[in-house]
Chain A
Amino acid sequence: MDETISIVLFSGTDDKLQSAAVLTAGAAALGRPVKILLQYWALESFRADRITADHGLVPEAGRAGKAALDAAAKAGQAHWTETLRMAKELGEVDIQACSASMELLGLKRSDLDPIVDGVEGVAAFYVNAGEGQIVFI
């Protein structure tokens, strides 16, 4: 069995990115390699100048959902960037920006936060994913 988990991040809201960071960190703690591909609005959220800005929540969160997440943050729950950094320190986590999304959004490599390891296309993503599972968030 291929232990690698590949995660495509499409959405750029903080709740979805938090969910992705938790899945990544859990896999890293189990010693499983994680490959992340950033597309569209997720990629936008990894811009160096706004990675820790407020990226909003999905519509179904509503006001009650926002209040719950704000309370969790106040209680000291780690920001998704923090969880991802920890996962990278502990395990084998590789974060790649989708080259087509880079072009679409007019981004250069230097516009992205250093937590991003590189830029790749979809063929490289599939080859690296091998026979492992692919998750889309």
Chain B
Amino acid sequence: MDIKLKVDASGLSCPLPILRATQGIKTLQSGELMEVVATDPGSVKDFAAWASSTGNALVEQDSANGKFRFVLRRK
């Protein structure tokens, strides 16, 4: 998987993870991938909502050791 941009939002509380994601995705071209890592437990529902609302696709998601990882494709 060719990840163009990695955003570390660890330790940041809502709404900063989705703000960082919004900043990050703007730097990508359509179809490119961004990975976001967050520790805010609310980010699981937030990224699903953000993806469905903005049209950027959530293509992969997992969690381990209190970290949540999201891979998003710019629409």
Contacts and interface: CB of A to CB of B under 8 A. Distances in A.
Interface of A: 22, 25-26, 28-31, 72, 75-78, 83, 86-87, 89-91
A30 B13 contact: no
B19 A30 contact: no
Q: How large is the interface on B (under 10, 10 to 19, 20 to 34, 35 or more residues)?
A: 10 to 19
**A interface, over-half SS:** helix
Given A87-B19, A90-B22, A90-B23, A30 B54 contact: yes
A22 B18 CA distance: 11
**B interface, over-half SS:** helix
A2 to B, nearest CB: 15
B24 to A, nearest CB: 11
A26 B22 contact: no
A29 B50 contact: yes
